[in-house]
Amino acid sequence: MKRLAPLTLVFLAAPLAAMAGGPAVPTIEPQVTAPAPAAPVTPSVDWTGFYSGLSLGGGHSYGNSPGTHANLGVAGVNLGYRYDMGPVLVGGEFSYDKDNINVGQASGSKVNNSTALKLVVGKSLGNTLVYGTVGLAQADASVAGVSGSDTGYTAGIGADYALNQQWTLGGELAGSRYNNFKNTGYDLKDTTFKVKIGFRF
């Protein structure tokens, strides 16, 4: 019995010693969260520089008397320069259009061709440019038996999309007006929509 007593104390003291030290606390490794993938950035086109292009479209012309309304076809060329300042774009454009306009048989009016010099103000939206134009226009026409050229004004809105670094594709809606063309008493007006393909130098 004397030999068993010390052994009994050892077995009883072992769990008490473990309890005295407290339970072992497991070490928790911090979780590392992978960073979220960056959102793709749409490349912005710098529209600064010279450009030229071709256009094709149609529309409607009308005068200030009965029988002077007609549909029309338009094919043209343009040359211009744009300066992209980031928040806004400014530029100038010269255009020439070959018109197919018979403005009614009653007045004997026909527009042969027209030219325009326009101010362009726009905004770049990535690969797309939206813009407005305003300027002077000149038409070569025959109105009520009087042939010649006269000056009016033009305004429009449009958009171009950059297919790559050089080529663009777009559309433009514009209107022109010639008041009292060559003192004939007739006001010639037209509204056109043209599809445009352009090349940037």
pLDDT at 90: 98
Q: State the Cα–Cα distance between residues 91 and 79, nearest whole angstrom.
A: 11
* Residue 110, CA distances (Å) to 35, 41, 63, 146, 166 in order: 68, 51, 11, 10, 37
Domain 49-200 top-level CATH class: mainly beta
pLDDT digits (tens, 9 = 90+) for 34-79: 666 665 555 578 999 999 999 999 888 777 765 566 677 899 999 9
Model confidence at 186: pLDDT above 90 = no
pLDDT score at 34: 63
> Is 196's pLDDT higher than 60?
yes
Q: Among 6-15, 103-112, 132-141, which stretch is predicted with the lowest mean pLDDT?
A: 6-15
Q: Specify whether the CB–CB gap between 137 and 151 falls below 8 A.
A: yes
Tokens found for residue 87: 């928040």
pLDDT in tens, 145-165: 788 899 999 999 999 999 999
Domain borders along the chain are 49-200
Quick check: 177 pLDDT over 60?
yes
Per 3-state DSSP, the chain is made up of helix, strand and coil in percentages (nearest 5) of: 10, 60, 30
* pLDDT tens digits for range 100-135: 666 655 455 677 889 999 999 999 998 999 999 999
